[in-house]
Copies of this chain bind each other. A is one copy, B any other.
Amino acid sequence: MPVAPLPDGVHPAWLPSAALRAVGSRRVRVVGDGPVVATVRGEVAAAVAEHGGALVDDGPVDLELVCAPDGGEPDPEAFVVGRSGTTTLVRAIDGVGLLYGFHHVVRQGESAFRGEAAPERHAPRQPVRMLDHWDNIDVHPVMGQVERGYAGGSIFYDDGVVRADLSRARAYARLLGSIGVNRVGLNNVNVHRTEARLLTDLLPEAVRLAEVFRPHGIRVHLSVSFAAPMTLGGLPTADPLDPAVRDWWARTTAEVYAAIPDFGGYVVKADSEGQPGPFAYGRDHADGANLLARALAPFGGTVFWRAFVYNHRQDWRDRTTDRARAAYDHFAPLDGAFDPNVVLQVKAGPMDFQPREPVSPVVAAMPRTSLAVEVQVTQEYTGHQKHVCYLVPLWREMLLFRPWGEGGATVADVAAGRTGAPAGGVVAVSNVGDDPFWTGHPLAQANLYGFGRLAWDDRLTPEAVLDEWIGLTFGEAADVREALHDIMDGSWPTYERYTAPLGVGFMVNPGDHYGPGIDGYEYSSWGTYHFADRDGLGVDRTRATGTGFTGQYPASWRDVYESTSTCPDELLLFFHHVPYGHVLRSGKTVVQHIYDTHFEGREEVVRMAGRWARLEGRVPGEVFERVTALLREQLRSATEWRDQVNTYFWRKSGVPDAHGRTIY
């Protein structure tokens, strides 16, 4: 299968022609059959055509890519790579393993063709590496076409229909395949009217998208509405225990599989933020999830059931209700009740993709349930792809968190099934759109790349992942590499510094979630409060005096979080309400810490912008200009954050800045 040409003006992301030079200048043999092997062959053919190598069937070869059964290898996604004499050999039992092995070689570049290397097996550390698209088919009047999308319209849909021209989607599937993503959710988890019909009369359109992803080893999923038996099927109920409802799902699912034999399954947001669900019928989430699981089981499908369930009509006056508790309270009691092909999709933190949250206690609470940890590649709360915010360090910190304390398993271990729990995986919300740079901010491509790589192997460091991405995207110039590390490595902590302090979260403008709104959610129904008064701030989530949320963790963390003397400073205000004068480990008071980090964070953006300015002429002009413009916006926004946060706390606390800087 030939490599789909990139539409005019679209940035090649991490697969520009130059990234395939090392492979493309070699003699390469590809052995095997099937659609994904054909993709590998197409990649090689395109690369050698461009760089002077050859795709050969015999004779001496520099690179041999072999897809063949291997008695010992259980994992069709695994590959073995080694080098002997002058030949680099990649073996896999399936096309998808071969594709991953091929891109492994691409990432290695020239070094894949030097010296000797003993055969080394590579296999993904997570079985599920999924990207959810919150794309709508119809442009939603409030949320736009891509909910929480900051990179233009959908690459799948025009307003109202699946695109006639799917070349962007094809190029996207190629990018995802190259980083090991193996599942894609095709539509928004908030399922509106037209999107619901992808399951029925618009199924032929979903088939077209499945065909786009299949050659890259990616199975597609549909987000479905729990009310579909009523809205699409004309039944009087969607009760999961009603036989007619069961039949409807079974019949409908069979039709989906008749059209898409490798269909991945469903994604469901039920009884959450207004979406329909089993509660309406007095059933629980296990009843709901198992209903769909049983329809999918005969075909090997999976239902991803989101655990993002909470009361979004909370009364801000009521300090006993704690949204952070909600997922655990709803789901932990159901451990063991879910069918094997249900994956419970749990947001990594207990709230909602904030720049800093503790890990969700659900992860440690459901040993008999498949869990998938969900993060956001799209920068809903991290700067809307207008701010540089390299998120791999955040995700890695959460994936390597050890819920049972030192020496215990990590979150990644739980998700991967390495703790004995059934395996799940990792899921992220995509950050792409029809913007020429895919992600709005060109540097936000690194988050998409990094998600795939980290999902493949959580042991990779964020710096190493970024380093790969820089090399592939920008080539090998040392000054560019150094500058991008300097700008991006610490950009998440920088973002954290100038926004909400010490894990308190939110403080964003309601609705769009961009820019400071210190009291923006303080008197709302969303359960996201900071409780700042003239004496202090933070949310008391202790067992002793607060909401008891700390009690949802295993003993080690339960006690660490319970006390201000052991709670990590960066999460202090997530777990505790403290006076402004509370002294942090740094020796600073909370309020001085707020002032300092906000002044510093904003200064770091100034420095970042200065560093970038020196790259003029060293990176492509259109990248330089886009990033330059966005850094201007980031600086404007960071200045606004600094001044609003500092002013708010100065007005409230009355404590002057120790360094006498300007606060308004």
Contacts and interface: CB of A to CB of B under 8 A. Distances in A.
B534 A651 contact: yes
A419 interface: no
Contact of A523 (B317, B523, B532, B644): B644
Interface residues of A, number: 22
Do most interface residues of chain A lie in helix, strand or loop, or is the interface mixed? loop
Work out how many copies of this chain go into the complex: 2
Contact of A654 (B317, B533, B643, B664): B533
Contact of A652 (B518, B533, B650): B533
B654 A523 contact: no
Contacts of A652: 533-534, 651-652
Contacts of A628: none
A651 B317 contact: no
A647 interface: yes
B664 A317 contact: yes
A317 B532 CA distance: 21
B643 A317 contact: yes
Interface string A639-656: 010011001101111100
A653 B523 CA distance: 18
A523 B534 contact: no
A648 B518 CA distance: 13
B516 A523 contact: yes
Contact of A534 (B316, B644, B654, B664): B654
A165 interface: no
A161 B652 CA distance: 52
Contacts of A653: 534
A476 interface: no
A205 interface: no
Nearest to A523: B644
Interface of A: 141, 316-317, 516, 518-519, 523, 532-535, 640, 643-644, 647-648, 650-654, 664
28 contacts: A141-B141, A316-B664, A317-B643, A317-B647, A317-B664, A516-B523, A518-B519, A518-B523, A519-B519, A519-B648, A523-B640, A523-B643, A523-B644, A523-B647, A523-B648, A532-B651, A533-B650, A533-B651, A533-B652, A533-B654, A534-B534, A534-B651, A534-B652, A534-B653, A534-B654, A535-B654, A651-B652, A652-B652
